[in-house]
Chain A
Amino acid sequence: DAGVTQSPTHLIKTRGQQVTLRCSPKSGHDTVSWYQQALGQGPQFIFQYYEEEERQRGNFPDRFSGHQYPNYSSELNVNALLLGDSALYLCASSRYTGNEKLFFGSGTQLSVL
């Protein structure tokens, strides 16, 4: 049973560029949440997708957007990259039944130069 898979594992971009990160949830899970983890910090909630809609959003600007596909996979898009966007981006999947148990992927390490 595959867990949460994320791609790519590492990415280097320059300021002003756009990036797309991808996530496939654990089998049986229908909800995907995205978190940003800066170096030496805990993860911060970006947003959550269920039934192809953004259900909740954290304190992140509109440059951060997402999408969920019918097969429950998800993408995180970041436009107009800033140096401060450099971080580990984590995808977590769960079931939208009220169970808060999240399974995390290994993340995408984004470096903005």
Chain B
Amino acid sequence: TQLLEQSPQFLSIQEGENLTVYCNSSSVFSSLQWYRQEPGEGPVLLVTVVTGGEVKKLKRLTFQFGDARKDSSLHITAAQPGDTGLYLCAGGTSNTGKLIFGQGTTLQVKP
């Protein structure tokens, strides 16, 4: 069974602080996606990484895929209250459309 473990599960920080969310597995994934979900809404895709060691930046968000394609991290610089939400990592296996999600990290950024 493929599992993705996210850490931490909860994070409450002040505006302007930096943070990193981790997503780890013992399985290899063909791709790793990061989503953000707000209450009452579906997840919205932030980024997809497919190559081991790949780094992608999206404004203040930096995503990295591990060299062995088993883990990933999301780093947010100078967090803003608008970054508050549930962050989910999801691993893809081949081209099936089936994603394995982590349990999510709830981020709260206080003004």
Chain A residues close to B by CB (< 8 Å): 4, 31, 33, 35, 40-45, 48, 55-56, 58, 90, 92, 94, 96-107, 109
A99–B92 CA distance with the chains assembled, in angstroms: 10
Which listed residue (A55, A100, A106) contacts B92, Cβ 8 A? Answer: A100
CB distance from B26 to the nearest CB of A (A): 17
Please determine whether B95 and A100 come into contact, CB atoms closer than 8 angstroms. Answer: yes
Please determine whether A33 and B103 come into contact, CB atoms closer than 8 angstroms. Answer: no
CB distance from A111 to the nearest CB of B (A): 14
**Sample (10) of A-B pairs whose CB atoms are under 8 Å apart:** A4-B42, A33-B97, A42-B101, A42-B102, A43-B99, A48-B97, A100-B96, A100-B99, A102-B97, A104-B44
Contacts of A90 in B (CB 8 A): 42-43
Nearest A residue to B42 via CB reads: A104
Please determine whether A105 and B101 come into contact, CB atoms closer than 8 angstroms. Answer: no
Please determine whether A101 and B48 come into contact, CB atoms closer than 8 angstroms. Answer: yes
CB distance from B53 to the nearest CB of A (A): 19
Contacts of A92 in B (CB 8 A): 42, 97
CB distance from A75 to the nearest CB of B (A): 17
Please determine whether B98 and A56 come into contact, CB atoms closer than 8 angstroms. Answer: yes
Contacts of B92 in A (CB 8 A): 100
> Does B78 lie at the interface of the complex (its beta carbon under 8 Å from any beta carbon of A)?
no
> Does B40 lie at the interface of the complex (its beta carbon under 8 Å from any beta carbon of A)?
yes
The answer to whether A102 and B103 touch (CB under 8 A), given A48-B97, A48-B98, A56-B98, is no
